[in-house]
Amino acid sequence: MEASRRGLLIILSSPSGAGKSTLARRLRAWDESIVFSVSATTRAPRPGEVDGTDYRFTSETEFKRLVAEGEMLEHAHVFGNFYGSPRGPVAEAIEAGHDVLFDIDWQGAQQIRNSSLGMHTLSIFLLPPSIAELKRRLEGRGQDGPEVIAKRMQKSWDEISHWDGYDFVLVNQDLDETEARLKSIVTATRLRRSQQPGLTDHVRHLQSEFEEGQP
Ligand code: ADP
Ligand code: 5GP
């Protein structure tokens, strides 16, 4: 049976440290039916990251096999490592009417937008209030060494320069305010006509009721 609502592919991108993971966590706590797309990556786990929950940590050989076999919806090389979104869980969730949340870079966002699922995407870009604050957040997170932080800062402009390809842009200054705005965007986009396949039937019923004689 067709789900009454078609799932959205919610894409969050930003330069590293602007707040994607934090906001993704809050969005999922708000609505537990949102499925997080667990990316595969060749990067090493950070302290506290759980394989299969935060990322699927893979070798480069395994990653390349997944790509070659067409199992990645999108993939990219970011900060010297490979990252990609496995296709299977996404298709399943969307068909069942669940939204899928992606924490991916601009290259991945572009590939998904250009895929057959493009019309069901909602893309949101997060900007930091300033570059100085971005650096403070990366340092404050306390998970990367100075070299990794320097590399991410260097690449931040490359990511920011793609801000204008997204449906919505939020400056993540106050976390609670950004969270509220993000939820509003998701709530509104779920009501897009293309996300409500059940509407046709509903309108058909309204029509027959109408034709049977107005009250
Ligand atoms: P990303 O996933 O984009 O790399 P994170 O979500 O890990 O970024 O956020 C980086 C750091 O900044 C974390 O320590 C997080 O708690 C903090 N942070 C996120 N949003 C805000 C905000 N609006 N104000 C202050 N700190 C924030
Ligand atoms: P991190 O190493 O900080 O977890 O992620 C580094 C960057 O890779 C972030 O910009 C993140 O959004 C991006 N990223 C994570 N997973 C994927 C993915 O599956 N595909 C793409 N294209 N980018 C990803």
Domains of the chain: 9-37+98-208 (3.40.50.300)
For 40-78, give the DSSP string. EESSPPPTT--BTTTEEE--HHHHHHHHHTT-EEEEEEE
Closest ligand to the CA of 109: 2
Would you say the CB of residue 99 lies under 6 angstroms from ligand 2?
no
So what's the pLDDT on residue 158? 94
Lookup: tokens for 58: 């893979």
Mean pLDDT by 10 residues, the chain (215 residues): 77 96 96 97 93 96 97 94 96 90 97 92 98 95 87 92 98 98 97 91 94 80
So what's the pLDDT on residue 214? 67
Mutate to test the pocket of ligand 2, among 39, 75, 138, 152 (most ligand atoms within 8 A of CB): 39
So what's the pLDDT on residue 46? 87
So what's the pLDDT on residue 3? 59
Question: Is-contact 112 118, C-beta < 8 A?
Answer: yes
Would you say the CB of residue 103 lies under 6 angstroms from ligand 2?
yes
So what's the pLDDT on residue 1? 43
DSSP-assigned letter for residue 34: P
SS3 15: coil
Note the helical H segments in 80-123. 87-95, 106-113
Would you say the CB of residue 56 lies under 6 angstroms from ligand 1?
no
pTM to 2 decimal places: 0.94
Which amino acid residue places its CA nearest to atom 23 of ligand 2? 104
So what's the pLDDT on residue 215? 64
